């Protein structure tokens, strides 16, 4: 017993701090769970309602695997920022105004989180990129800080080289493409596709500067990617920035494998809903898929944050109908926002919408079990805005993509996938400063053409499908023992242990 207590005392303790977006929270919590499953002590700090997104998974890990992982909840300052209780995540935010308030709430939480971390006294901090202050705290506590970047490495490299060399200044017009210098892949972009804050001073410029400055002072950067998807990029970033990068993705493949092992044991517990049916409520969709031919269905989903204008939705419906391809469209009823607020025609009736889209369309309103849908043999393509988690889910099961980049890092992902022969670009070329889109509507003709190019079984589409299936095998190998991501994950854990031992000795 004394030996076990000594081992417990010596176990490195890592604190994780997720941000306010589910697309950031989910992969960071995956890392926390993997660390705990590999013997580290883990504490996740989050506001109460955000913690509900992953509390059951943490409880399940503790119950079934004995993981030393806990969640410490803090109270979100709802009243101070003028938000209803429970709005702590951008997904619940129908406007940029509310997003700003959520972000401000996390700024107000900084002192509380700092004090809690000092009380916990961990050996390491892993924080979302949007908490650059954690590098100051880590230096004060003399412990390593790792920054979590939920997207690609290539966009970080592109940021550095675009800011340094300003290649967009060498083109005659916004329509002309320029080559981003220094990258291991030939990535060409239009001026209209790169972020405003890279070309001029904006409100977001300081945030980006703070994130990048904190990175170079960090012990390392963790990415949900792998060398198979971004060959040579990790080494390039390390050379350009002087900070170690750890590529340990796709994280969901690690977690899915672990959860499959747990499910195979057929353990039930009255307090943990471990045997719930994820298809519950989606039987009609599943039955519809069963009646479709293999690789014949297009899956269309833009996550939970994108707000299209009514004009764009109409063009989308026209284009998808004209493509004459069986389609599952995950459609979110549009919340009122600054753009549509005064438009008397913005409130669509469900019946009118269904009449517009035709008989080959299956509509899911609200949330959909995306991973399960993508796994189905009938799915032959995925139309997406290039959210990185969705890209990884699709490629992990060998489903090729139609890319419709809209905001954030989407355009770099779009170019990466096209360069690797994994996707067909839909032709979007205007970056938006937020998820409420301000770019001109993409025509139904462009949407129709892109869908037909991928789904018509041409030589081009067969090649892309072949590339996607091959990438799925590579990603699976990367996360198996001895694979690139598995080795990086074990190396990262060993580095944290090394740092903890060095400080204690």
Closest CA to 493 of 248, 137, 237: 248
- Does domain 281-475 fall into CATH 3.40.50.11030? no
* 99 CB neighbour count, 10 Å cutoff: 20
Q: Which residues are bridge partners to 299 per DSSP?
A: 328, 382
Distances (CA, A) of 187 to 66, 138, 457: 46, 36, 27
What does each of the 505 residues of the chain score in pLDDT, given as a tens digit? 233 334 445 799 999 999 999 999 999 999 999 999 999 999 999 999 999 999 999 999 999 999 999 999 999 999 999 999 999 998 876 688 889 999 999 999 999 999 999 999 999 999 999 999 999 999 999 999 999 999 999 999 999 999 999 999 999 888 899 999 999 999 999 999 999 999 999 989 999 999 999 999 999 999 999 999 999 898 898 888 899 999 999 999 999 999 988 877 645 444 444 445 555 678 899 999 999 999 999 999 998 889 898 899 989 999 999 999 999 999 875 543 433 444 444 344 444 566 677 779 999 988 899 999 999 999 999 999 999 999 999 999 999 999 999 999 999 999 999 999 999 999 999 999 988 898 999 999 999 999 999 999 999 999 999 999 999 999 999 999 999 999 999 999 999 999 998 887 7
Identify the DSSP state of 296.
-
Both ends of the chain: CA-CA distance in Å? 23
* 307 CB neighbour count, 10 Å cutoff: 21
Distance, CA of 40 to CA of 242 (rounded, Å): 27
Q: Indicate the helix (H) or strand (E) that contains 497.
A: helix 484-504
Reading the block at residue 327, the tokens are: 């389609």
Instruction: Look up the pTM and report it.
Output: 0.93
* 156 HSE (CA, 13 A, CB side): 29
Going from N- to C-terminal start, the domains of the chain cover 281-475
Distance, CA of 386 to CA of 401 (rounded, Å): 9
Residues with catalytic roles: 24, 128
- CB 111 within 8 Å of CB 77: no
Distance, CA of 137 to CA of 340 (rounded, Å): 43
- Burial class of residue 65 (count of CB atoms within 10 Å of its CB; 0-12, 13-18, 19+): middle
Beta-sheet strands, E only, within 203-341 = 220-223, 245-247, 297-300, 327-331
Residue position matching structure tokens 């353990």:
267
Distance, CA of 65 to CA of 265 (rounded, Å): 12
């Amino acid at each position: 017993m004394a030996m076990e207590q000594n081992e417990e005392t010596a176990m490195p303790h890592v604190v994780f701090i997720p941000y306010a977006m589910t697309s950031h929270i989910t992969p960071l919590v995956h890392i926390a769970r993997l660390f705990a499953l590999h013997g580290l002590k883990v504490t996740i700090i989050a506001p109460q309602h955000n913690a509900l997104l992953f509390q059951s998974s943490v409880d399940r890990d503790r119950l079934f695997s004995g993981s030393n992982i806990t969640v410490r909840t803090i109270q979100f300052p709802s009243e101070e920022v003028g938000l209803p209780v429970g709005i702590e995540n951008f997904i619940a935010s129908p406007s940029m105004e509310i997003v700003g308030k959520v972000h401000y709430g996390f700024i107000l939480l900084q002192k509380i989180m700092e004090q809690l971390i000092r009380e916990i006294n961990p050996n390491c901090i892993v924080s979302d990129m949007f908490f650059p202050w954690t590098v100051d705290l880590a230096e004060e506590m003399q412990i390593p800080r790792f920054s979590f970047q939920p997207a690609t490495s290539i966009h970080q490299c592109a940021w550095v080289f675009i800011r340094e060399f300003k290649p967009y200044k060498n083109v005659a017009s916004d329509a002309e493409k320029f080559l981003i210098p220094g990258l291991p892949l030939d990535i060409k972009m239009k001026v209209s596709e790169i972020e405003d804050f890279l070309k001029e001073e904006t409100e977001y410029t300081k945030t980006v500067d703070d994130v990048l400055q904190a990175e170079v002072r960090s012990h390392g950067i963790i990415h949900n990617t792998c060398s198979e998807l971004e060959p040579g990029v990790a080494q390039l970033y390390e050379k350009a920035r002087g900070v170690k990068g750890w590529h340990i993705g796709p994280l969901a493949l690690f977690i899915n494998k672990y959860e499959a092992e747990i499910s195979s044991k057929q353990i039930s517990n009255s307090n943990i809903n471990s045997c719930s049916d994820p298809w519950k409520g989606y039987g009609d969709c599943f039955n519809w898929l069963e009646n479709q031919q293999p690789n014949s269905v297009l899956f269309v989903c833009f996550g939970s944050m994108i707000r299209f204008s009514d004009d764009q939705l109409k063009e989308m419906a026209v284009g998808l109908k004209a493509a004459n391809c069986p389609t599952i469209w995950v459609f979110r009823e549009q919340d009122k926002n600054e753009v549509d607020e005064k438009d008397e025609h913005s409130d669509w009736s469900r019946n009118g919408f269904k009449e517009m889209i035709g008989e080959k369309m299956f509509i899911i309103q609200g949330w959909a079990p995306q991973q399960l849908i993508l796994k189905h043999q009938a799915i032959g393509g995925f139309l997406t805005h290039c959210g990185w988690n969705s890209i990884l889910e699709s490629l992990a099961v060998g489903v090729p993509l139609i890319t419709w980049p809209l905001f954030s890092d989407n355009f770099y992902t779009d170019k990466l996938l096209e360069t690797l022969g994994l996707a067909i670009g839909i032709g979007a070329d205007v970056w938006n400063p937020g998820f409420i889109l301000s770019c001109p509507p993409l025509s139904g003709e462009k949407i129709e053409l892109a869908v037909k190019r991928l789904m018509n079984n041409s030589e081009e589409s067969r090649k892309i499908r072949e590339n996607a299936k091959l990438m799925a095998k590579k990603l699976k190998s990367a996360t198996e023992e001895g694979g690139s991501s598995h080795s990086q994950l074990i190396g990262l854990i060993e580095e944290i242990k090394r740092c903890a031992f060095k400080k204690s000795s």
